[in-house]
Amino acid sequence: MTELSPATRTRVTRALRSHRIETPSWAFGNSGTRFKVFGQKGVPRTPYEKVADAAAVHRFTGVAPSIALHIPWDAVDDYADLARHAAECGVALGTVNANVFQDDDYRLGSVANPDPGIRRKAVGHLLECVDVMDRTGSADLKLWFADGTNYPGQDDACARQDRMADALRETYDRLGSGQRMLLEYKLFEPAFYLTDVPDWGTAYLHCVATGERAQVVIDTGHHAPGTNIEFIVATLLRAGRLGGFDFNSRFYADDDLMVGAADPFQLFRIMYEIVRADALAPEAGIAFMLDQCHNIEPKIPAVIRSVMNVQEATAKALLVDAAALATAQREGDVLGANAVFMDAYATDVRPLLGELREDMGLDPDPLAAYARSGYAERVRAERLGGQAAGWGA
């Protein structure tokens, strides 16, 4: 590792110590492709067991203290009891994600559906999710809509935008004073001709029209190939409308692979924009969430690895020499400015992160510590019978 000054080490480790990464409940269940769901032994059967697995990730990483819920996948009779269970496990319930894409009624869309009865059903679910937030103490409602059309002329694009806006406004008005709405966008799929919220610009326009606590969330897998995601990050930060991330990795489309797997340099560039804007600390209000499905790899180690990937990219971003970069930019030194970036990216930050974990009372190698813990063997033995959590295909 490049020799770092004591002041730099202190600054970087202080920032990394306070950084928080939320894990998704659905990452711990069975998942797969549209052709096949691959079952694994020991996966959770209930939201309570998902919380226990998220707590295991936090025990070995120290920076993943909350778990996002997906309703109705994680519906329970008593959300206050689930919150108490989470606290006993050492984590908290985090973002509440709505699901208006799996019912047969939503074949032609949910809140943008031409049928007013189906729109009413979809908005009712969004309001139900705010009720869940009230019971769990969650501050964020995350909305992603599969709404769109497959063929030209299938529906009126402007009318669909009006319906979307009405649904967002009604849901926003139900939020409590300390709660936010995070609107996600996606280029395509499952709608192939027109997606009602296909890009950051559309999401941004809806958020501005809805209210100041409506913000855009960036799923790193939801863009066309070659999209400069870090520019989107910088633009939304500048506008004060970046609410958070759904971190994953893509090769072709919405692959939902481990974050940083396809392009770790892109993850570094994204995190640099966050660091440059001084938006890394929790008080900045950026929700750093994983949104991944681990189809062929073991679940908990994959989530641990993903948290570590975000930490490594963040550590490198924190090492960018801001003064040297600013000087090179002012002087028009193209190669010099790029070299500042590349020097930080080329730094091996793993020893620094290992030292930080030891200072936090953790094992420097979270994956090795998890493998030695016996947790995987224990849950495989305990979680026999019942219905494993996951989604069908």
Domains and CATH numbers, the chain: 18-320 (3.20.20.150)
* pLDDT value of residue 129: 98
Relative to beta strand 31-32, strand 37-38 is antiparallel
Query: Burial letters for 117-148: b for 16+ Cβ neighbours within 10 Å, e otherwise?
Result: ebbebbbebbebbbebbebbebbbbbbbbbbb
- The pLDDT, as a whole number, for residue 2 is 57
Query: d(Cα 351, Cα 6) in Å, to the nearest integer?
Result: 15
Quote the DSSP letter at residue 30: B
Q: How many CB atoms lie within 10 A of CB 171?
A: 23
**Of 209, 204, 215, which Cα lies nearest the Cα of 182?**
215
**Residues 1, 3: Cα–Cα separation, whole Å:** 6
d(CA 209, CA 393): 37
CB 254 within 8 Å of CB 221:
yes
Q: Specify the pairing of strand 194-195 against strand 148-149.
A: antiparallel
Which tokens hold the place of 238? 């500048």
% of the chain beyond a pLDDT of 90: 96
**How wide is the angle at C-alpha 289 spanned by C-alphas 265 and 143, nearest 5°?**
120
pLDDT at site 392: 52
Angle between helices 366-373 and 375-382 (to 10 degrees): 40
Q: Is 333 left (phi over 0), alpha (psi -120 to 50) or beta?
A: beta
For residue 391 the two structure tokens come to 């989604």
**8 Å CB contact between 22 and 140:** no
Q: Most distant CA pair in the chain: distance in Å?
A: 67
Q: Which of 80, 181, 73, 178 is nearest to 127 (CA)?
A: 181
Helix 350-359, helix 6-18: angle, nearest 10 = 70
The whole-number pLDDT of residue 3 equals 82
User: What sign has the CA pseudo-torsion 250, 256, 261, 267?
Assistant: positive
Are the C-beta atoms of 196 and 164 separated by less than 8 Å? yes
Which residues of the chain carry a pLDDT beneath 50? 1, 393
| Closest CA relative to residue 270, chosen from 294, 248, 291, 298 | 248
Report how far residue 307's alpha carbon sits from residue 290's, in angstroms, rounded to the nearest whole number: 8
Q: Which residues of 80-114 are buried (b: 16+ CB within 10 A; e: fewer)?
A: eebbebbeebebbbbbbbbbbeeeeebebbbbbbe
